[in-house]
C-alpha cells in the first residue's frame, strides 16, 4: 500500500511541478446573447494577437489565468458578431454578443496542435458543435455528422454505426482505411485501428473537427482522415444540473443527467445517459449506458491538467443482411436465428490524462496518455452455421508534442515536433457452436504503432502561409494461436512508412483564401490480411499507400452573408491490399492477400451557407439555409482475381462499391424571438454499386428530417427546451448500411421507415 501512495505522489508531482504557484491577474468573462440574455456556450475568447484563451462553458463563462492587465480580449462565436474589449481588472466582465450570420472566418478549430481560425487552416477540415448535434435527437451521431461535406455516418441501430470519410473503407476483406480519433487531444483509437465512437455519449460532445483525407501528417496512419473530439466543459464559478430525455418510434428512448461545476482552480463535468431501442428490424434491439467524467485543474498560470473517464456499456442485435427476395418479402425480418440471441455486447473503460505546460511565451509542451480496456462477446448464427467468440482488448497510448513559436520573415512562425506510441493486446476465445460449446481457438494479438512527427509553419512576404511536415511510422503486429494448431500458429511482422506533407494558404482578399495540400497517407495491414486461407503467412505484405492532392477556396462573400468551402481532391492509392483467388480446389477458393491493387479516388466537396436574416428585430430573429454537395469518382485502376474455374477476371475500370457518386445534404434553420425554432434537413444519396463486378446495385434515396421546439428561460435559473420531430418524412425504403461483396446476395440492411420522437431538456443554474 505504501508503494502505491508513493507511485501516485510521483505521478502527481510529475504533472504538477508548479502546483503551489499562486493565481494572479485573471480575466473572467461572461458571454450572453444580447437579445435573449441566455448564456452562450462555446464562445471563443483569446488574448488578441496571441494564443492564450479558451471557450466558454455551459454558463457562458471562461477564465484566463495570469494575464498582464490591461489586455485586449477578442471574443467570437459562430452565429454572432465578433467583439474586441479592453480588460483593465480581474472583476468579472459581462459581454453581450449580437447574433449575425455564421461566418467561416470566425470558426476556430483545434487541429494540428493549436487553435486557429478555420479559414487559415491548411487542410480540408470541417467543424460541428454541440448545437449542431441538437438539431436532431441525441440517439446517435449519424444525422449530425452526415451534414459535414465528405462525411457519411451509416447506422441501422443505436451503437452500430461507422463514419465514412470520402467513401471510407472499401468493404473488402483485408483492407481498411479508417480514421483516427482523439478526445481532448488524447489519442483514443485502439492499437488495432478500432475507433471507439460507439462508446461515446453524443450528449457529452462539445465539438468535432474532422480532417478529410491524409492531411494530418502529425497524426500518423490514416488514409480517410482524423476526427478530433472535444467534450463539453464544466461551468465556471457556478453549478449547473441538466436533465434530458426523449421517446420515439420502435421503442426508442433516452434519458440522461449531467452536473457541472467550476472555479478559478478548475472545473468538472459528470454525465450519465441511457439510450435504448427495440429496433426497426427483428433482432435489432440495442441498449447503451454511458457514464462520463471530464475535468481540468489549473495549478498555475503556466499549467493546465485535464482528465477524462468514460465508461460505455452497450449491446445490440445483429439481424443480418437480406438478399433482394427476402427484402421484398419482409424488410423487417431477421436473417439470423432469433433463438440464438444474436448480437454484440461490449463494455469499454477509458481513462485519459493531459498536461499542458507553457514554459514561456515561445515554448510549450502538451503530454497526454490514455488506457482502455474493452471486453465483449459476439454471436451470430442460423440453421447452417454458428459463430461465437469472446474477447478482451487493452490499449495504451502516449503522445508528446512540443511547440516553439518564433518569428520568420517578420511574421509569426511555429514548429511542432513530438512522438506518439500506441500498444494493444487482444485475446480472443472462439467456440465451436455457441458459448456452451467447446473452445476451439485461443489467439493473442499484439499491435504496436510508434510515430515521430514534426511540422513547420511560416509565412513569407505576400502572405503565403506554408506548412511542411511529416511523420515516420513503425507498425508491429505479433500473432499467436495457442489452441488450434491445424493452421497458422504464430508470426510477427513489422512495417515502416514515411508520411510527408506540404500545404499552402494564400489570402485573395479579406475573409477569402485559396489553399492547396499534398500529403501521403497509409493504412497498415490488419491481422486478417496476413492470413492466407489459414495456410501461409504473407511475409511481403506492406501498407496501403496513397498520395493525396487537394486545392480549394473558402471564405465569406456578399457582406459575409454567404459562406463557402469548395475543395477538389485526388487520392491515388497504390499497394492496395486485396484478396486474390490464386487457385481453386473443387469449390474451395485459396485466397492470398496481396498489395496487388490500385485505386483512383477523386471528387468535389462543396459547402454553402447563406444567412437570410441576421439580427432580426421582429418575430423571426435568425434564418439561414445551407447545403453540401459531394461528388466521388472512385475507380479500380488495377484489380484482378480468379473465378471458380481458375479463369482470370479483372475489375479494372469498375467503380469501388459502396460509394455514392453524388450526394446532397441541405437544410434550413429558423429561430424566433419567443424561442420557437424549426430545423429541417434534406438528404439525397445516389445509386451505389454493391460488389466489385458492378452487377449489383442499390437505388438512390431521399430523406427529410424535421425538428420543431421552443426554448425559454423560466426566471434567472431555469431553462426549458421542449421539442418534437419526424425522421424520414418521405417514408423512403432504403438501406443505409450494406454488406458489400456478399457471396449470397445479402447486400441489404434496411433502415427505419418514417418515425417520430418528442423530448425535453431542463437546465437549472444553482449560482
Residue 208 C-alpha cell reads as: 468535432
C-alpha to C-alpha distance for 354 and 110, rounded to whole angstroms = 15
391 located within any domain: yes
How does DSSP classify residue 9?
Answer: H
**Omega of the bond leading into 70 within 30 degrees of 0 (cis):** yes
Residue 527 C-alpha cell reads as: 491481422
347 located within any domain: yes
Sign of CA dihedral 197, 200, 203, 205: negative
C-alpha to C-alpha distance for 412 and 261, rounded to whole angstroms = 37
Radius of gyration of the chain from its Cα atoms, rounded to whole angstroms: 26
406/269 same-domain check: yes
Helices (H), 207-351: 324-329
Q: Give the range of the structural domain holding residue 63, as residue numbers without chain letter.
A: 24-99
84/221 same-domain check: no
16 located within any domain: no
Question: Which pLDDT belongs to residue 9?
Answer: 45
Residue 7 C-alpha cell reads as: 507511485
Spatial CB neighbours of 737, under 8 Å, sequence gap ≥ 6: 154, 155, 156, 160, 162, 749, 751
* pLDDT less than 50: residues of the chain: 1-24, 35, 101, 171-175
Let me know: does 134 contact 147? Beta carbons within 8 Å. no
- Residue located via cell numbers 480517410: 224
Last residue of a domain, one of 74, 99, 124: 99
262 located within any domain: yes
**Total domains present in the chain:** 2
C-alpha to C-alpha distance for 53 and 45, rounded to whole angstroms = 6
Spatial CB neighbours of 760, under 8 Å, sequence gap ≥ 6: 244, 245, 246, 720, 721, 722, 723
Let me know: does 642 contact 584? Beta carbons within 8 Å. yes
95 located within any domain: yes
C-alpha to C-alpha distance for 421 and 308, rounded to whole angstroms = 19
Question: Which pLDDT belongs to residue 24?
Answer: 47
Residue 438 C-alpha cell reads as: 467447446
Per-residue b/e over 244-264, b at no fewer than 16 CB within 10 Å?
A: bbbebbbebbbebbbbbbbee
Phi and psi, residue 528, nearest 5°: -65, -20
C-alpha to C-alpha distance for 751 and 102, rounded to whole angstroms = 33
230 located within any domain: yes
**Omega of the bond leading into 205 within 30 degrees of 0 (cis):** no
Last residue of a domain, one of 47, 68, 99: 99
Residue 469 C-alpha cell reads as: 511536415
90/221 same-domain check: no
232/84 same-domain check: no
291 located within any domain: yes
Question: Which pLDDT belongs to residue 207?
Answer: 87
- Residue located via cell numbers 431501442: 277
* pTM summary value: 0.85
Residue 709 C-alpha cell reads as: 421546439
For residue 32, give the CATH number of its domain.
2.60.40.1120
Last residue of a domain, one of 99, 116, 135: 99
- Residue 359: CB atoms within 10 Å: 12
Q: How far is CA 587 from the centre of its chain?
A: 42
Helices (H), 71-220: 130-133, 142-145
Q: Which of 506, 416, 498, 499 is nearest to 466 (CA)?
A: 506
226 located within any domain: yes
- Residue located via cell numbers 459528470: 270
For residue 532, give the CATH number of its domain.
2.40.170.20
Question: Which pLDDT belongs to residue 488?
Answer: 86
Give the dihedral of Cα atoms 444, 579, 632, 107; nearest 10 deg.
20
Amino acid at each position: 500500500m505504501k508503494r502505491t501512495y508513493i507511485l501516485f505522489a510521483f505521478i502527481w508531482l510529475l504533472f504538477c511541478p508548479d502546483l503551489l504557484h499562486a493565481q494572479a491577474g485573471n480575466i473572467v468573462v461572461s458571454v450572453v446573447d444580447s437579445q435573449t440574455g441566455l448564456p452562450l456556450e462555446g464562445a471563443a475568447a483569446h488574448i488578441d494577437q496571441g494564443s492564450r484563451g479558451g471557450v466558454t462553458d455551459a454558463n457562458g463563462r471562461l477564465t484566463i489565468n495570469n494575464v498582464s492587465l490591461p489586455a485586449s480580449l477578442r471574443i467570437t462565436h459562430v452565429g454572432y458578431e465578433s467583439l474586441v474589449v479592453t480588460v483593465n481588472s480581474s472583476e468579472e466582465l459581462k459581454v453581450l454578443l449580437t447574433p449575425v450570420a455564421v461566418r467561416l472566418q470566425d470558426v476556430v478549430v483545434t487541429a494540428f496542435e493549436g487553435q486557429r481560425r478555420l479559414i487559415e487552416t491548411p487542410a480540408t477540415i470541417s467543424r460541428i458543435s454541440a448545437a449542431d448535434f441538437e438539431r436532431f435527437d441525441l440517439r446517435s451521431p449519424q444525422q449530425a455528422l452526415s451534414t459535414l461535406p465528405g462525411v457519411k455516418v451509416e447506422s441501422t441501430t443505436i451503437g452500430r454505426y461507422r463514419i465514412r470519410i470520402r467513401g471510407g473503407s472499401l468493404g473488402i476483406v483485408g483492407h481498411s482505411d479508417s480514421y483516427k480519433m482523439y478526445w481532448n487531444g488524447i489519442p483514443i483509437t485502439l492499437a488495432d485501428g478500432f475507433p471507439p465512437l460507439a462508446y461515446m455519449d453524443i450528449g457529452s460532445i462539445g465539438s468535432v473537427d474532422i480532417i478529410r483525407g491524409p492531411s494530418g501528417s502529425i497524426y500518423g496512419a490514416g488514409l480517410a482522415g482524423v476526427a478530433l473530439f472535444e467534450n463539453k466543459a464544466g461551468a465556471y464559478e457556478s453549478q449547473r444540473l441538466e436533465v434530458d430525455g426523449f421517446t420515439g418510434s420502435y421503442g426508442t428512448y433516452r434519458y440522461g443527467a449531467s452536473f457541472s461545476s467550476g472555479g478559478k482552480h478548475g472545473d468538472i463535468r459528470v454525465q450519465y445517459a441511457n439510450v435504448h431501442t427495440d429496433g426497426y428490424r427483428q433482432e435489432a434491439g440495442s441498449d447503451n449506458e454511458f457514464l462520463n467524467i471530464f475535468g481540468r485543474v489549473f495549478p498555475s498560470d503556466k499549467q493546465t491538467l485535464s482528465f477524462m473517464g468514460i465508461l460505455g456499456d452497450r449491446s445490440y442485435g445483429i439481424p443480418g443482411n437480406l438478399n433482394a427476395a427476402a427484402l421484398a418479402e419482409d424488410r423487417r425480418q431477421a436473417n439470423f436465428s432469433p433463438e440464438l440471441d444474436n448480437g454484440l455486447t461490449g463494455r469499454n473503460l477509458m481513462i485519459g490524462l493531459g498536461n499542458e505546460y507553457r514554459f514561456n511565451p515561445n515554448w510549450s509542451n502538451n503530454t497526454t496518455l490514455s488506457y482502455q480496456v474493452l471486453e465483449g462477446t459476439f454471436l451470430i448464427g442460423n440453421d447452417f452455421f454458428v459463430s461465437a467468440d469472446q474477447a478482451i482488448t487493452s490499449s495504451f497510448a502516449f503522445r508528446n508534442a512540443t511547440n516553439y513559436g518564433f518569428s520568420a520573415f517578420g511574421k509569426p512562425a511555429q514548429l511542432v515536433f513530438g512522438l506518439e506510441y500506441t500498444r494493444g493486446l487482444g485475446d480472443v476465445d472462439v467456440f465451436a457452436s455457441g458459448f456452451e460449446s467447446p473452445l476451439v481457438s485461443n489467439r493473442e494479438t499484439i499491435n504496436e504503432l510508434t510515430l515521430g512527427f514534426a511540422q513547420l509553419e511560416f509565412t513569407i512576404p505576400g502572405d503565403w502561409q506554408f506548412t511542411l511536415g511529416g511523420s515516420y511510422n513503425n507498425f508491429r503486429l505479433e500473432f499467436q494461436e495457442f489452441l488450434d494448431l491445424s493452421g497458422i500458429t504464430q508470426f510477427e511482422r513489422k512495417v515502416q512508412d514515411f508520411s510527408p506533407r506540404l500545404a499552402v494558404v494564400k489570402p485573395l482578399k479579406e475573409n477569402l483564401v485559396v489553399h492547396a495540400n499534398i500529403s501521403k497517407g497509409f493504412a497498415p495491414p490488419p491481422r486478417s490480411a496476413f492470413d492466407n486461407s489459414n495456410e501461409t503467412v504473407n511475409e511481403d505484405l506492406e501498407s496501403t499507400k496513397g498520395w493525396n492532392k487537394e486545392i480549394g477556396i473558402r471564405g465569406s462573400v456578399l457582406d459575409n452573408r454567404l459562406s463557402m468551402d469548395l475543395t477538389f481532391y485526388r487520392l491515388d492509392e497504390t499497394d492496395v491490399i486485396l484478396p486474390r483467388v490464386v487457385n481453386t480446389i473443387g469449390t474451395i477458393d485459396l485466397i492470398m492477400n496481396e498489395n496487388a491493387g490500385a485505386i483512383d479516388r477523386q471528387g468535389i466537396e462543396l459547402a454553402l451557407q447563406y444567412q437570410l436574416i441576421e439580427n432580426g428585430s421582429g418575430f423571426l430573429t435568425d434564418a439561414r439555409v445551407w447545403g453540401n454537395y459531394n461528388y466521388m469518382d472512385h475507380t479500380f485502376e488495377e484489380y484482378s482475381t480468379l473465378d471458380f474455374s481458375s479463369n482470370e477476371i479483372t475489375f479494372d475500370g469498375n467503380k469501388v462499391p459502396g460509394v455514392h457518386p453524388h450526394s446532397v445534404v441541405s437544410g434550413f434553420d429558423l429561430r424566433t424571438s419567443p424561442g420557437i425554432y424549426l430545423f429541417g434537413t434534406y438528404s439525397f444519396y445516389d445509386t451505389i454499386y454493391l460488389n466489385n463486378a458492378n452487377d449489383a446495385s442499390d437505388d438512390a434515396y431521399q430523406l427529410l428530417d424535421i425538428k420543431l421546439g421552443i426554448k425559454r428561460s423560466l426566471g434567472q435559473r431555469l431553462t426549458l427546451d421542449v421539442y418534437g420531430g419526424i425522421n424520414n418524412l418521405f417514408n423512403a425504403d432504403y438501406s443505409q448500411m450494406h454488406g458489400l461483396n456478399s457471396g449470397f446476395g445479402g447486400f441489404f440492411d434496411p433502415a427505419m421507415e418514417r418515425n417520430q420522437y418528442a423530448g425535453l431538456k431542463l437546465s437549472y443554474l444553482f449560482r
